[in-house]
Amino acid sequence: MNIQNRKWSYLFLLSIIWGSSYILIKKGLEGFSPIQLGAIRVVLAALFLFIIGFKSLRTISRTEWPWVALSGFIGSFVPMFLFAFAETEIGSGIASILNSLVPLFTLFIGLFAFGIHFSKNQLLGVIVGLIGAAFLIFFGSQINPNQNYWYASLVILATVCYASNANIIKSKLQNVSPMGIAVGNFAAIVVPALLILPFSGFFSQEVTSGPRFWSSLGYVIILCIMGTCVAKVMFNKLVQMSSAVFSVSVTYLIPIVGIFWGILDGEAFKLQQLFASAIILLGVYLVNKKKTPKKASFSNS
């Protein structure tokens, strides 16, 4: 399979895996608190990754370890907790749509932090996408008045983290194997997770004897193996073989999968939300449309 077909294959598979992650988070929250869910996700994912790829840590040099650790915290640790807290108030389908902002922030962070230029068309895409996000949050608060849509800001913050991580991998970790990045990420973040877990009450009798404990743990294990371990290695490989902006374009397809699962689980999704979602995806499309930006435009001086 040539590299172009591999890129699109990775993109499609990632959309299926990550698009299903939001409903798995929602199901995990039936038995765990957001803090417990975030911590156990990190611990279990670290365990699985150490089993399958511990030797890959050798591919990380001493100078690359700070970037690997930073990538772990902003690309995995922080977003895991942010999404867990967000989905206590907003639906899994809405969370998947807001995740589509990742390519927009990837563009901005690439400009200001790494000096990557972008075009007027792409700037328009960023503005359109942010307008769509504002509409989605507004309509959601009207349709679901019992939910606190301020929690949507946690998803937006998580997308900023994902965007920063994509730029770090592309700019600083090209020489580290995708498995090495993934295992190194969790080697860096598993210690704080192990410290948080016992203080979160995860091992208390109230939690372990709860009616949803085992089912929620099962959902979290699936989430860790597929949504974290397998998908993270695939994503790291995709970033290295393409570009940061192309790789995060997986968010084109994630909302379709996320909304599908949300509707099956009884979540409300109205025409106004579909309209706002279309605006966000239009913004993402504009960001990715022009592949050869004019370096004279919006340069980082």
SS (H, E, C) the chain: CCHHHHHHHHHHHHHHHHHCHHHHHHHHCCCCCHHHHHHHHHHHHHHHHHHHHHHHHHHCCCCCHHHHHHHHHHHHHHHHHHHHHHCCCCCHHHHHHHHHHHHHHHHHHHHHHHCCCCCHHHHHHHHHHHHHHHHHHHHHHHHCCCCCHHHHHHHHHHHHHHHHHHHHHHHHCCCCCHHHHHHHHHHHHHHHHHHHHHHCCCCCHHHHCCCCHHHHHHHHHHHHHHHHHHHHHHHHHHHHHCCHHHHHHHHHCHHHHHHHHHHHCCCCCCHHHHHHHHHHHHHHHHHHHCCCCCCCCCCCC
Question: Does residue 151 lie within any of the structural domains?
Answer: yes
Q: What is the pLDDT of residue 301?
A: 37
Question: Does residue 301 lie within any of the structural domains?
Answer: no
Question: Does residue 300 lie within any of the structural domains?
Answer: no
Question: Does residue 166 lie within any of the structural domains?
Answer: yes
Q: What is the pLDDT of residue 88?
A: 93
pTM: 0.80
Question: Does residue 299 lie within any of the structural domains?
Answer: no
Domain residues for the domain of 271 are: 23-289
Low-confidence ranges of the chain (pLDDT < 70): 1, 112-118, 244-245, 248-249, 251-252, 287-301
Question: Does residue 9 lie within any of the structural domains?
Answer: no
Question: Does residue 297 lie within any of the structural domains?
Answer: no
Question: Does residue 8 lie within any of the structural domains?
Answer: no
Number of folded domains that form the chain: 1
Q: What is the pLDDT of residue 298?
A: 37
CA dihedral of 64, 240, 99, 158, whole degrees rounded to 10: 0
